[in-house]
Amino acid sequence: MQPEVTRATARMANGKAVDIYRPSARCGPDPLPAVLIWHGIGPDERDILRPVAEAVAAGGTMVFAPDWRSDAPDRGRAHLLDSLEFVRKEAAGHGADPDRLVVAGWSAGAGAAVGLVTRPDLFDTPRPTAVVGIAGRYDVPARTTGTAPLDDVVAHAPEAAAVHLVHGTEDELDVTHSRVFAEALAARSWPVRLVEPVSDHAGVVMSEYDAVAGRCVPSASERARLGGEATVEAILSAASGLRA
């Protein structure tokens, strides 16, 4: 039986909502690893990540899932970085360790998350312990940096950080995007692991696209099961400090 998870909603200084997931039962007094997870291009769609966030929290982490708007004038950069600052400042008060922070992102959020470690010179805060890119592209400008992570890891030669990638083999956003990025990281001795479940773009976050609703909704399909399991395992692996 999956451990019970509680969910609370807070407001960041910018007014955006962030859902905070935590396991109801704690094992020991130590703070939990903190996971910040960003949704994709749909504005203010943190709810799409609820199935993944609950499963990751059940695995023994504190998960923060904020809203952000890709249609903002800055393409969402301020919202994303505000949520990072929120977790850095507030994690301890919620029983999580801000020094054990994993940042994960799905779709447009994937490049944004990875950009935190490929261009650390752009940020005043410490780099995350690890990042997880879920069904992303890395050859286009990331929402956090304005530059492409694939270019940055070559041109700027930042210090290596742990990168976990998940990309479904049936994704309409070709899995080659993640393969090329993983190869570029490995060529520079970065610890990287790419997992390719038999899933599609929505399936990797336990969802499917609903054409009537015009958005992704939770799904119990086989694609969603396989994709979701791969994503949850990747985030928990990153949070536990495992390396590829």
- Write down all domains in the chain, each with its CATH number in brackets: 5-239 (3.40.50.1820)
| Band (26; pLDDT cuts 50, 70, 90) | low
| Calpha distance 230→185 (Å, rounded) | 20
State how beta strands 215-218 and 207-210 pair: antiparallel
| Calpha distance 154→188 (Å, rounded) | 8
Q: What is the token pair recorded at 15?
A: 């007014």
Helices (H) and strands (E) in the chain, counts: 6, 10
| Closest to 218 (Cα-Cα) out of 47, 23, 7 | 47
Tens of pLDDT, residue by residue over 59-82, are 999 999 999 999 999 999 999 999
Q: What are phi and psi of 121, to 5 degrees?
A: -70, -15
| Closest to 173 (Cα-Cα) out of 210, 133, 146, 145 | 133
Mean per-residue pLDDT for 144-165? 94
By the 8 A CB rule, do 216 and 205 touch? yes
Tens of pLDDT, residue by residue over 76-125, are 999 999 999 999 999 999 999 999 999 999 999 999 999 999 999 999 98
pLDDT at 244: 35
pLDDT at 241: 83
pLDDT at 25: 74
| Band (242; pLDDT cuts 50, 70, 90) | very low
Mean per-residue pLDDT for 191-200? 98
pLDDT at 157: 83
Tens of pLDDT, residue by residue over 164-190, are 999 999 999 999 999 999 999 999 999
By the 8 A CB rule, do 13 and 82 touch? yes
Find tokens 């985030």 and name the residue: 235
pLDDT at 122: 95
Mean per-residue pLDDT for 41-55? 97
Q: What is the token pair recorded at 121?
A: 């010179």
Residue 1: pLDDT over 70: no
pLDDT at 117: 97
By the 8 A CB rule, do 110 and 135 touch? yes
pLDDT at 24: 84
Contacts of 220 (CB under 8 A, 6+ apart): none
Residue 243: pLDDT over 80: no
The secondary structure element, H or E, covering residue 216 is strand 215-218
| Calpha distance 62→54 (Å, rounded) | 10
| Calpha distance 201→216 (Å, rounded) | 10
